[in-house]
Structure 1
């Protein structure tokens, strides 16, 4: 068992060392090595292929000369018996060193052969195999020999020196080796340059991210090369790094807005909580001296304390609702809006007895959502309309298959206030004396967006405000 475990550990050790090496090396080094290795392998492959082609062509030219000599010998010496035709084998110049060999050793001529005769030569003479080329050495010189069929029962051997061919092959090999070495060196330089240039935007992005992490400054942006990147890097012509930088800038913009909204929410919540908390503390201190208060004073202080507690509780609940960005999926169901809006209108009539709610359903759409949240959405719209309606003024509620509209006949929304009516804690100058925390419409829009709907506000024709919920 221990031996098997040791073998497994030994097999995994090179992989672990490679993984540790990759973790220790920066991306630029790894990319440069990968690029250089790829280019170097291509260079070596091209040089090896070029050397092989050159060597083949040089040897092929020599083989063609041997074939031509063998054909010439067959034409000029037809009917001749075994013998040595050209004996200048020390030089092996044209005409080539040539001899005719019989299939049977008993028929060999008296003069000795100058070229090596092997059983393969006898097999060619006997017609048992085809001709072949071979590398030999004659008189201390390298040569290439062709053995082929001459006539019935004989073979002809033709040889030429291959010094020039071998020298050409050697020179070609040295040249290709030099080219390959220079190519590998150039591949290393170009690989490093390519990695440095290609990863420069990534390095800037990394430096920006580290700066943001250190300073917590979300206003920093990455400089992009062209206008396409400033549009968020979504242009099809932008490269991947530019698109990444654009997406990173867009993410930083969202982060900056989120941080700004969070700070504004905390500041606004602190401001809104300061007044009711001060009143709570005053009433609590007053009730602490209950022995000095008359029953009427004690009752007023208790009622004020309860009212302020309700306001603080409502404000905290609204803040909790606004802090939730999406609806719980487990509670989503198909909701018929006709009965839901009718229920909200009846509830509003009970809360606002001085306001006439006119409900005119013209459809009964179905929407996937959370019923309690949709009730809160419609209820906030109705409460807002009732709050600004004059005594006895109507609030017109219309439901169609495409959306819901709620219109009041109050003072309406001033043009300068219209862009901010859905902001948290925003209260127009005409509404600051009315009850509320300024969170109702912000919560209504958040619930609408969570349900895939759009909530807008506009000035109603003839006066008043019109809120339109579009599915």
Structure 2
């Protein structure tokens, strides 16, 4: 094989190794995600405790080492001050090299002193055995500042302090072997304690996971059974409020049961909504199909019959469109903040009244408004007000008056119709609910339900009551 043929294989080897490494990492990630929650909780707890123990261990070590360093440096500083005040050091000039001992033996509390003239090269070791450090040379050259250095003098660990004097610098050394031994013992002790702490953390994490997740397992079994059977009537059997063992897991079980209650009611409401919508759509769709069939015999119809069929189709299409629009409104939730803006509720109400006058020419509208600013979505608030006005006009007699009043934070609409029967009053905002007296009138029973939902989406309230002297009073309270 030629070198040219071999080179691609050589170049691809690092890529294959990188691919294997990435594959192993991905495999570990998948195995971790697929492992049991108890295992992950135990490992995570042990890992967190290990980090805490390690942080505490390092913190204690750093604090003790800093204290030892400070004490050793303080000893050097005091020894230097004492020597400079002694007859040997007072007024000393570094004109020649000088040592306090021919052989520095750093044991116990002994100290060694040497005078370093300017120009002495770094690394020089005199007869005393004390080395001259780079910091000592810098200070001897009349550079400002002091310097602490760790050195080895005749095989013994030491620490030096160098300060400037006339003509050079003076260096003093004390033994640091005791300090080094103490730090080694401290490292061993903290390492043992840290290992023991990590082992205890692992055991504790396993016990906590085992004890804490046993009831979660029961809750999981209940959820899986519900998912398998599709039956939301089942409930967990964990303790409830007021019973012993009411901890976070029991609260989770309570929230789970509450969620099942909401789900069960939602499913029932959805089935009822679908059934009611189907019922409400069936009649106009049937009439629509009938009129379409009639128009199919166009050559046999008189112009008057054709016009009546087209008008009926138009009315049925408007009815279906209104019903679909109401259903869409009911499906909407809370208004997104991005659509909210300041709205003049008084101006919006006057515009809605102007539109209502064209729809209900036989009804009088009396308007009394004061400048009122609210926060909301103009189009949806306009739909709410229009729905309430249409409802009031629908139940007003010919020549009757609908009174509209807007004051800061409130809009009221009153009609002078028959009012609401006591048995119907709690239900007029329900989906598809129509009072017995209203079943002969046009409408789907969704208007007021949609209006209240719009009010709730704006943080407002919409209520109805029988007005004194007859008629219905609908009140919208909306925050400014």
- 1:88 corresponds in structure 2 to none
- 1:241 corresponds in structure 2 to 249
Q: Which residue of 202, 210, 233 corresponds with 1:219?
A: 233
Q: Which residue of 350, 360, 366 corresponds with 2:368?
A: 360
The separation in 2 between residues aligned to 1:413 and 1:290, in whole angstroms, is 45
The separation in 2 between residues aligned to 1:357 and 1:258, in whole angstroms, is 40
Pairing of 1:442-461 with structure 2 (within 5 A): 442-461=449-468
- 2:38 corresponds in structure 1 to 28
Pairing of 1:410-449 with structure 2 (within 5 A): 410-449=417-456
Unaligned runs of 5+ in 2: 1-10, 53-104, 110-195
Pairing of 1:254-273 with structure 2 (within 5 A): 254-273=262-281
Distance 1:3 1:271, change over 3 A: same
- 2:340 corresponds in structure 1 to 332
The separation in 1 between residues aligned to 2:451 and 2:50, in whole angstroms, is 64
- 2:289 corresponds in structure 1 to 281
Distance 1:218 1:130, change over 3 A: same
- 2:310 corresponds in structure 1 to 302
The separation in 2 between residues aligned to 1:469 and 1:336, in whole angstroms, is 15
Q: Is residue 367–residue 405 contact of structure 2 (8 Å, CA) maintained in 1?
A: yes
The separation in 1 between residues aligned to 2:383 and 2:348, in whole angstroms, is 11
The separation in 2 between residues aligned to 1:376 and 1:128, in whole angstroms, is 95
Matched, 1:407 2:414: yes
- 2:84 corresponds in structure 1 to none
Q: Which residue of 351, 355, 361 corresponds with 1:343?
A: 351
Secondary structure, in 3 states, of the residue corresponding to 2:321?
Answer: helix
- 2:322 corresponds in structure 1 to 314
- 1:200 corresponds in structure 2 to 214
Q: CA RMSD in A?
A: 3.5
The separation in 2 between residues aligned to 1:290 and 1:203, in whole angstroms, is 70
Matched, 1:470 2:480: no
1:203-236 Cα distance to aligned partner (Å, 9 max, x none): 122223223322333333323413259xxxxxxx
Secondary structure, in 3 states, of the residue corresponding to 1:201?
Answer: helix
CA displacement at 1:297 relative to structure 2: 3.0
Q: Is residue 384–residue 454 contact of structure 2 (8 Å, CA) maintained in 1?
A: yes
CA displacement at 1:328 relative to structure 2: 5.7
CA displacement at 1:292 relative to structure 2: 3.7
Q: Which residue of 254, 261, 265 corresponds with 1:253?
A: 261
**What TM-score comes out, normalization by structure 2 length?**
0.61
Q: Which residue of 209, 230, 234 corresponds with 2:223?
A: 209
The alignment covers a number of residue pairs equal to: 331
Matched, 1:389 2:403: no
User: For the pair shown, which has the larger CA radius of gyration, 1 or 2?
Assistant: 1
Secondary structure, in 3 states, of the residue corresponding to 2:397?
Answer: coil
Farther off after superposition, 24-33 or 270-279: 24-33
- 1:162 corresponds in structure 2 to none
CA displacement at 1:251 relative to structure 2: 2.7
CA displacement at 1:382 relative to structure 2: 0.6
Farther off after superposition, 294-303 or 375-384: 294-303
Q: Is residue 240–residue 251 contact of structure 2 (8 Å, CA) maintained in 1?
A: no
CA displacement at 1:465 relative to structure 2: 1.3
Secondary structure, in 3 states, of the residue corresponding to 2:420?
Answer: coil
CA displacement at 1:421 relative to structure 2: 0.8
Q: Is residue 374–residue 409 contact of structure 2 (8 Å, CA) maintained in 1?
A: no
Distance 1:328 1:16, change over 3 A: closer
CA displacement at 1:385 relative to structure 2: 0.7
1:18-43 Cα distance to aligned partner (Å, 9 max, x none): 4343234211234456678999999x
CA displacement at 1:252 relative to structure 2: 2.6
Secondary structure, in 3 states, of the residue corresponding to 1:227?
Answer: coil
Unaligned runs of 5+ in 1: 43-126, 132-179, 230-236
- 1:102 corresponds in structure 2 to none
The separation in 2 between residues aligned to 1:313 and 1:35, in whole angstroms, is 59
Farther off after superposition, 27-36 or 443-452: 27-36
The separation in 1 between residues aligned to 2:310 and 2:23, in whole angstroms, is 77
- 1:57 corresponds in structure 2 to none
Distance 1:34 1:328, change over 3 A: closer
